[in-house]
Amino acid sequence: MIWPFSRKKKSIARIEITGAIASSARNRILEALEFIKQKRFPALVLRIDSPGGTVGDSQEIYNALQKAREKLKIVASFGNISASGGVYIGMGAEKIVANPGTITGSIGVILRGNNLERLLDKVGVSFKVIKSGPYKDILSFDRPMTDEEKHILQSLIDSSYSQFVQTVAEGRNLSPEAVRAFADGRVFTGEQALELGLVDRLGTEDDARRLAAELAGLDPEQAKFYTIKPPKTLASRLLPAGDALMSRMQFELETNGVPLWMWR
């Protein structure tokens, strides 16, 4: 449906962020934000149902939301789960609404790798590696990690974690020390998150819509959602769960050995 321009000015834009956050989610959200900017929506509700995702993509979405707030009001609505990278993205909103039972938190960073050395030995497979430096094949799956490599990767994780803590501290008007007190990877209910200052209030997505309308000076009783949906893919046309399956497979392939803000 194509709505008149004046109708959009009285509507609340809505973007769903579901599943693991990676490059495809980033591209879709940035395109949606550009559409919202062009159509001059006064407010946006982000419906987040995500366990997190890649660090860089989460940061780019957050930065885009921060810039978008110069022109419109943004409210995040945490659904069933909004953890780790989902929390990071939520920091880009002016206000955050969560259900009492929402699973959130898991503020931290994880880096995963696989060691298949014993399996490869059993099947008689080995690799010959030529590299320009001692750490070029760090996290290789055919050998154990050295102590030096562990130190390098831990430093990388610590740097990423500090960035996460700083963003939450700024977004929630808390000190970094206060954030670190609960940012140890644990998860919370929405009710617990409210007590910690991680969200602003408890409520449903409709409560988030009403709040966004109030912030934008619209009538909460009249302002309706305008959901910005991505185009359907071939996988979604052929299989009921095609999009979810393909997204998960793509995420697994893209993120092996990549630092993640992900609930595990």
Residues serving a catalytic function are 84, 136
Is residue 138 within 8 Å of residue 144, measured between CB atoms? no
Q: List, in order, residues 6 or more apart from 101 with CB less than 8 Å away.
A: 189, 190, 191
| DSSP per residue, 169-238 | HHHHT--HHHHHHH-SS-EEEHHHHHHHTSSSEE--HHHHHHHHHHHTT--TTT--EEE--PPPPHHHHH
Sign (positive or negative) of CA dihedral 201, 202, 207, 208: positive
Is residue 193 within 8 Å of residue 172, measured between CB atoms? no
Query: Cα–Cα distance between 96 and 79 in angstroms, integer?
Result: 11
Is residue 31 within 8 Å of residue 64, measured between CB atoms? no
Query: Cα–Cα distance between 261 and 160 in angstroms, integer?
Result: 9
